[in-house]
């Protein structure tokens, strides 16, 4: 038995492997490699595939699965925060683009109907490309990532009304109140059914599936829900990807969501690759070469106009210039649904064949340039912020006399926990956050202000010159590097603690000025082996020693609870040495003993450099100094010895 399209599919896969390897050596992203593979396989070059529709139908599943996984990664709280950017940001971006393009096309001598249609084409951006690249680079949790997702979701919602508007703009259909009421009723019924199923049915269904203990059943259930919801929205005239996105949001509420998403990721990646290849196949190389310079000029004009029209829609929401520029450049390409809309416009007479081919060429080129535009976004955003003459942010810390304080950059989960710990420890702190909604929600409750910490004027406003510690706990790796470099330049004595996702970021961040870099990847591995060893009844002291040794080998510094400043400098220059501050519990065997009797230096290898009792500090303490409950003791020594001595102060071990 012969499957007609199987031979084509095999050739496409083999060719794309070679192109991807070659692009990898040139440091080009895989997205560009798949687009180039499609151009080579298409009818205008090698002609491996004569009918692109065969591959396109399969490739649409990749877009649907991408939106499904994006929906699953959104929590209820983050989705609620996206509500304003979706409707305000997305609505403004669409309205500004349609109005501007309608005006330009009308001035060019065409009808306003054609102008509105061109505005709809230009307004759409590529969810598949933008979200894929942002996922690969770990940018989905950044302000620019959230803003891009919000606007893309709104664009997907508007695909159906745009398709319905094509016959109206072409003068082939009249809109009646009954048809509008029918469409609205269908949407309301669908959303109501989805909400009811999400609230009362999803968890029960997933619990039954998981109890079956068969990964195949779990995967089939996941695909069934994803594609079933996509078919439902498609039947109502909406896009497949919007239905898949709603299915992802629905399953995100389930406690088994991580098991679901891990099973579908490999299939999503395969279908997404086919999507990019199918887009590349649409390019008519001969037409593109014959009109090379006009198309090149139109591409540059398209990117500039679309980025400029997107910028106000995010600036008006109160986000910093840097995040707004990154978002505008990220969305400055044509979307995959624009191809469907363009085909409908060609059939309805709103587009001529020459305009259609020109639009395809410009679209595919902008898609190929998207990875470079996203990569250049942070640098161009910094330049735009400097040119705009950014003023200090408005917030609570402006009127406070700050000294020896903690600066927290980012108020996500890590920032909130750090602020809570600082508050309970009596440490003065200020918070800087780029999300204006978060700032509004916590203003009056926390010393929080809005601004971009990579800007010198913002750091100066927060008193970086007088601060003791700067903690950078945001998800944007480019911004973390810029903040560390600027803060070190402005305050050489500042202690900078930065969070990053990957171990490979530790070296570059330390070279830029960070004193301590906490890699989520590495800390997660320590937590995993600690819990595994606990189940094997390995003593807690041994687990602590393992963790201390691994941290020392990878970080070359101890994550200190606190430190005495002069010794901190010395410890930083002596390998394997550190400083630690411990409070003496009432249950500690050291209570009532003198320093000489404790044997801390002789038997445990640590030196007591100071003891604080209330407001009085004894530094250095004499051998006759006696310990009492609640004393704060400052220790100096090798990092493994410091960890081993901790149980003495908590009552977890007997003093020798």
Dist. CA 609–CA 636, nearest whole Å? 7
Mean pLDDT of 255-281: 71
Its sign, for the CA torsion 639, 644, 645, 650, is positive
Alpha-carbon distance 123 to 333, whole Å?
A: 9
Q: Buried b / exposed e across 466-489, counting CB within 10 Å, b at 16+? A: ebbbbbbbbbbbbbbbbbbbbbbe
Dihedral over Cα of 285, 291, 293, 298: its sign: negative
Query: Whose structure tokens read 């910093």?
Result: 320
Residue 515 gets the label, from left (phi > 0), alpha (psi -120 to 50) or beta, of: alpha
Half-sphere exposure for 423 (CA within 13 Å, toward CB) = 12
- C-alpha span between 366 and 228 (Å, rounded): 32
Other Cβ atoms closer than 10 A to 561: 11
Name residue, tokens 């599943």: 61
Q: If DSSP states are collapsed to H, E and C, what string results for 394-446?
A: CEHHHHCCCCCCEEEECCCHHHHHHHHHHHHCCCCEEEEECCHHHHHHHECCE
251: tokens are 């399953």
Contacts of 554 (CB under 8 A, 6+ apart): 503, 506, 522
The tens digit of pLDDT for each residue in 27-80 reads: 777 777 888 888 888 777 887 776 666 666 666 676 677 677 767 765 555 556
- Looking at residue 558, its pLDDT comes to 35
**Domain map (residue ranges) of the chain:** 6-386, 396-538, 562-650
> Residue 552's closest CA among 516, 514, 583, 520?
516
Taking only the tens place, the pLDDT of each residue in 172-223 is: 656 667 766 776 777 777 777 777 877 777 777 877 877 777 777 877 888 8
596: which residues sit within 8 A by CB, 6+ positions away?
Answer: 623, 624
Q: For the segment 467-482, what is each residue's pLDDT rounded down to a tens digit?
A: 999 999 987 787 888 8
**What letter does residue 626 receive in the DSSP assignment?**
B
Element (H, E) at 180: helix 177-200
Cβ partners under 8 Å of residue 20, min gap 6: 30, 33, 34, 37
Give the tens place of pLDDT for each residue, 282-334: 778 888 888 889 999 999 999 999 999 999 988 888 788 888 899 999 999 88
DSSP letter, residue 91: H
For 41, 62, 425, the CA distances from 276, given in Å and listed in that order, are 12, 9, 53
Give me the residues paired with residue 470 across strands: 407, 496
| Average pLDDT score over residue span 497-502 | 84
Mean of all residue pLDDT scores within the chain: 79
Q: How far is CA 78 from CA 140, 257, 262, 450, 516, in A?
A: 12, 16, 21, 19, 29
Residues 6+ apart with CB under 8 A from 247: 68, 71, 225, 226, 228, 229, 230
pLDDT digits (tens, 9 = 90+) for 397-442: 444 557 889 999 988 888 898 898 888 888 899 999 877 778 878 8
Cα(239)–Cα(602) distance, integer angstroms = 73
Query: Is pLDDT larger for residue 434 or for residue 574?
Result: 434
For residues 561 and 178, which has the higher predicted lDDT (pLDDT)? 178
Residue 496's pLDDT band, with cuts at 50, 70 and 90, is very high
DSSP lists the bridge partners of residue 450 as: 433
Spatial separation of the C-alpha atoms in residues 263 and 599, rounded to whole Å:
56
Q: Is the pLDDT of residue 565 over 50?
A: no
517-551, pLDDT tens digit by residue? 887 767 777 778 777 877 767 777 777 777 777 76
- pTM of the predicted model as reported, rounded to 2 decimal places: 0.60
The CATH number assigned to the domain with range 396-538 reads: 3.40.50.720
Residue in 323, 334, 313, 475 with CA at minimum distance from that of residue 384:
323
**Residue 380 burial class via C-beta count within 10 angstroms: exposed 0-12, middle 13-18, buried 19 and up:** middle
The token duo for 7 is 């031979």
What's the DSSP call for residue 171?
Answer: T
What stretch of H or E contains 611? strand 606-613
DSSP three-state, residue 558: coil
Task: Give the pLDDT confidence score for residue 301 in this predicted structure.
Answer: 92
Q: What sign does the dihedral 108-114-116-120 (CA atoms) show? A: negative
| 116-173 pLDDT per residue, tens | 999 999 999 988 788 878 877 767 767 888 888 888 888 877 876 787 688 788 776 5
Q: Does CATH place domain 6-386 in 1.20.1530.20?
A: yes
> pLDDT class for 646, splitting at 50, 70, 90?
confident
Which fold would CATH assign to domain 562-650?
A: Alpha-Beta Plaits (3.30.70)
Contact 328, 144 (CB under 8 A): no
- Give the helix ranges, DSSP H, for 26-51: 30-41
- Mean pLDDT along residues 16-29: 83
Q: What is the pLDDT of residue 396?
A: 46
Asked whether the CA dihedral 349, 353, 358, 359 is positive or negative, the reply is positive
Q: Band of the pLDDT at 564, cuts 50, 70, 90?
A: very low
Domains 6-386 and 562-650 are alike in CATH topology: no
Q: DSSP letter for 563, please.
A: -
> Residue 654 pLDDT > 50, yes or no?
no
pLDDT at 302: 92
């Amino acid at each position: 038995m012969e499957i007609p399209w199987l031979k084509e599919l095999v050739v496409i896969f083999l060719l794309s492997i070679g192109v991807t390897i070659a692009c990898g050596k040139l440091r080009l992203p895989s997205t560009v490699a798949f687009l180039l593979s499609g151009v080579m396989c298409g009818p205008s070059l090698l002609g491996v595939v004569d009918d692109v529709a065969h591959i396109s139908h399969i490739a649409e599943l990749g877009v649907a699965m991408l939106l499904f996984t994006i929906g699953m990664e959104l929590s209820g709280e983050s989705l609620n925060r996206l509500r304003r950017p979706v409707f305000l940001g997305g609505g403004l971006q669409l309205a500004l683009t349609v109005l501007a393009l309608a005006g330009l096309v009308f001035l060019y001598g065409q009808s306003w109907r054609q102008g509105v249609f061109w505005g709809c084409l230009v307004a759409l951006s590529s969810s598949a490309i933008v979200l894929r690249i942002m996922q690969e680079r770990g940018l989905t949790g950044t302000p620019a990532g959230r803003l891009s997702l919000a606007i893309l979701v709104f664009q997907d919602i508007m695909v159906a009304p745009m398709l319905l508007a094509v016959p109206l703009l072409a003068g082939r259909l009249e809109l009646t109140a009954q048809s509008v009421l029918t469409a609205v009723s269908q949407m309301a019924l669908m959303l109501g059914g989805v909400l009811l199923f999400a609230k009362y049915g999803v968890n029960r269904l997933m619990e039954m599936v998981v109890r079956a203990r068969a990964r195949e059943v779990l995967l089939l259930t996941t695909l069934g829900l994803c594609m079933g919801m996509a078919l439902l929205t498609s039947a109502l005239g909406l896009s497949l990807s919007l239905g898949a996105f709603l299915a992802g949001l629905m399953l995100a509420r389930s406690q088994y969501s991580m098991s679901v998403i891990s099973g579908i990721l490999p299939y999503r990646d395969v279908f997404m690759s086919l999507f990019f290849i199918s887009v590349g196949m649409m390019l008519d190389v001969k037409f593109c070469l014959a009109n090379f310079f006009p198309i090149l000029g139109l591409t540059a004009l398209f990117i500039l106009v679309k980025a400029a029209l997107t910028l106000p829609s995010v600036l008006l929401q109160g986000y910093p210039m840097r995040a707004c520029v990154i978002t505008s450049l990220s969305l400055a390409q044509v979307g995959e649904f624009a191809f469907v809309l363009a085909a409908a416009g060609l059939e309805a007479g709103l587009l001529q064949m020459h305009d259609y081919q020109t639009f395809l060429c410009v679209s595919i080129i902008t898609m190929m340039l998207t990875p470079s535009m996203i990569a250049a976004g942070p640098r161009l955003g910094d330049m735009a912020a400097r040119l705009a003459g950014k003023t200090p942010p408005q917030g609570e810390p402006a009127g406070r006399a700050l000294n020896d304080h903690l600066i927290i950059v980012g108020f996500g989960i890590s920032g909130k926990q750090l602020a809570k710990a600082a508050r309970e420890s009596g440490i003065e702190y200020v918070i800087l956050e780029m999300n204006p909604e978060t700032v509004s929600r916590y203003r009056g409750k926390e010393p929080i202000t809005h601004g971009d910490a990579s800007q010198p004027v913002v750091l100066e406003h927060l008193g970086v010159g007088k601060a003791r510690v700067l903690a950078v706990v945001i998800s944007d790796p480019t911004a973390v590097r810029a903040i560390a470099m600027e803060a070190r330049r402005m305050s050489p004595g500042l202690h900078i603690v930065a969070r990053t996702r990957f171990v490979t970021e530790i070296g570059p961040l330390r070279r830029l000025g960070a004193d301590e870099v906490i890699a989520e990847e590495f800390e997660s591995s320590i937590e995993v082996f600690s819990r595994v060893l606990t189940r094997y009844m390995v003593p807690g002291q041994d687990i602590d020693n393992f963790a201390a040794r691994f941290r020392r080998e990878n970080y070359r510094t101890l994550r200190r609870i606190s430190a005495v400043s002069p010794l901190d400098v010395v410890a930083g220059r002596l390998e394997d040495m550190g400083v630690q501050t411990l409070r003496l519990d009432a249950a500690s065997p050291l209570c009532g003993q003198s320093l000489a009797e404790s044997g801390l230096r002789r038997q445990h290898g640590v030196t007591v450099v100071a003891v604080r009792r209330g407001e009085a500090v004894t530094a250095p303490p004499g051998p006759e100094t006696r310990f009492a409950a609640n004393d704060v003791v400052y220790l100096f020594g090798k990092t493994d010895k410091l960890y081993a001595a901790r149980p003495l102060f908590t009552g977890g071990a007997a003093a020798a």
